[in-house]
A and B are shown apart, each in its own frame.
Chain A
């Protein structure tokens, strides 16, 4: 369980995250949605202790993220940012193997190698494993990063817009994979998403943020409704029932 207690973050005079209190249940896939600048990514960065919070507290399974030693937390919680600019030239395998760093401290055991192979296979990267990251397409690189996070094998996995750079096939594949991880391996997956229909079809729980505050939360059935979506995004929505999924349209 992730407990977020009254967390705030301010840049200069701009309040980015404003007193958010939220409990994310263990297990399942939680999607965080909301308009640009709602503070979604900032909140997630603070949960993953990559950004210090100005006030408040985040507990992961009862551990205060601000005080728990980094390596202990790295075996419990993993976070993938949306853009990962790096100067080091690594092969896909090098990168994915670093996912085992919290366990092996850079000296991977046979068990670690097994994790690496499985993660590479899972994301269809086995054939690309010796290629350098800077030789890959944006989508392939994104999958390599996700493979690294899977390799980290943590109970909690946080992703900031993991569908960026992915084409339709790989975006659907990624969501299925995250959903599968949540269902089959009892992982807790938290994803910032822009596409509400992906949230509607795959999430067990949707958290809506607006203007730095927690706006609403609930199941897709609670959230994906025309009047609620219109109030979140200030745009007209229609919601259709298609094969048991609620699909929102907003294009016209």
Chain B
């Protein structure tokens, strides 16, 4: 019931996103069939793809954040604090160097492969840290991300590709058009896969020994989680670029309100993720109208504030 209400709210945001923009499209005119061809074209070729892309990317990244927090067993981990997105960007860059006209599937494969390796490296480093303090884990991830990014930056600088790299790094949906976002449906498939295996990821969040005791193959779950996370991240980075902090904010809010039994919470995580990205994108379209602030920047501001809130909250609890 409450889930239905949430879906209706999400639908309202989606409709707002469809009809809000520089080019004026009136829903009434559209329904009465009086809209001109240009308006229909804008709607179908730009607004609809953009809105769908926002929903798919938002829900996918939020679910990924949850999975990573379960796998790393740390509340501060998400694709942009674990080296995942930097690795995906590096993969994109390599794809661009090897063949500038590579089809989007190829770029995606490179990005996903690198994201997988980068995230696996992060988890491997975590296993070797003797004192896994809560704040240490995202710090390690941010540093690893920094190192990977600097490798990418070095290559890009040498080959005059800094501009392309900057484009991957800032999440922006303004250039999403029909024919350039469809790969995100793959991210939807992965998000659904995450839901199907939800119980296993909850168990992984209880720890390797716990999961093993209940008869689960922990390494297989780890691998499945890594594949889902890197595919979704790669899809989003290829189409829109990095959207920071989303995978941090949404899972933490959901966990505070309704815990972490993922079978129950993942639908909420997906809806809240989609809604938040839609809202931030609409805000980005309003603040400097008729120009746009990329959604990555809006979320960056919100997310940093939320990150600090989480840190302070944890400290006051410990005290």
Contacts and interface: CB of A to CB of B under 8 A. Distances in A.
Interface of A: 45, 48-50, 69-75, 78-81, 84-91, 94, 98-99, 101-102, 105-106, 132, 152
Contact of B70 (A79, A80, A87): A87
B106 interface: no
A73 B199 CA distance: 19
Nearest to B214: A101
Given A84-B207, A101-B203, A89 B260 contact: yes
Interface string B207-241: 11110111111000000000000000000000000
Given A50-B209, A70-B217, A90 B203 contact: no
Contacts of A85: 207
B69 A86 contact: no
Residue in B74, B205, B261 whose Cβ sees the most chain A Cβ within 10 Å = B261
Nearest to B255: A89
Contacts, number: 81
Contacts of B216: 70-71, 101
Contacts of A98: 199, 202-203, 206, 214
A143 B29 CA distance: 64
B263 A106 contact: yes
Nearest to A100: B214
A87 B214 contact: no
Given A48-B213, A78-B213, A86-B206, 20 more contacts: A45-B209, A50-B209, A50-B213, A69-B215, A70-B217, A71-B215, A72-B215, A81-B209, A87-B69, A88-B205, A88-B260, A89-B259, A89-B260, A90-B259, A91-B261, A98-B206, A99-B214, A101-B216, A102-B215, A105-B199
Nearest to A50: B209
A88 B209 contact: no
Main secondary structure on B side of the interface with A: helix
B73 interface: yes
11 contacts: A49-B212, A50-B209, A70-B215, A70-B216, A70-B217, A84-B206, A85-B207, A101-B215, A102-B214, A106-B200, A152-B214
A132 B259 contact: yes
Interface of B: 69-70, 73-75, 198-200, 202-203, 205-210, 212-217, 255, 259-261, 263
The 8 closest A-B pairs by CB, nearest first: A74-B215, A106-B199, A71-B215, A88-B205, A88-B260, A70-B215, A87-B73, A89-B259
A99 B214 CA distance: 7
Contact of B205 (A69, A86, A132): A86
Residue in A73, A84, A86, A152 whose Cβ sees the most chain B Cβ within 10 Å = A86
Contacts of B74: 87
Given A81-B209, A94-B259, A106-B263, A88 B215 contact: no
Contacts of A78: 213
Nearest to B198: A106
B215 A90 contact: no
Nearest to B262: A88
B207 A91 contact: no
A77 to B, nearest CB: 8
B212 A84 contact: no
B152 to A, nearest CB: 30
Contacts of B261: 88, 90-91, 94
A105 B203 CA distance: 11
Contacts of B212: 49-50, 70
Contacts of B214: 74, 98-99, 101-102, 152
A86 B259 contact: no
Contacts of B259: 88-91, 94, 132
Contacts of B207: 84-86
Contacts of B209: 45, 50, 79, 81
A205 B295 CA distance: 66
Nearest to B263: A106
Nearest to B66: A88
B199 A101 contact: yes
Contact of A84 (B199, B210, B263): B210
A98 B198 CA distance: 13
A72 B215 CA distance: 7
Contacts of A81: 209
Contacts of A99: 214
Nearest to B73: A87
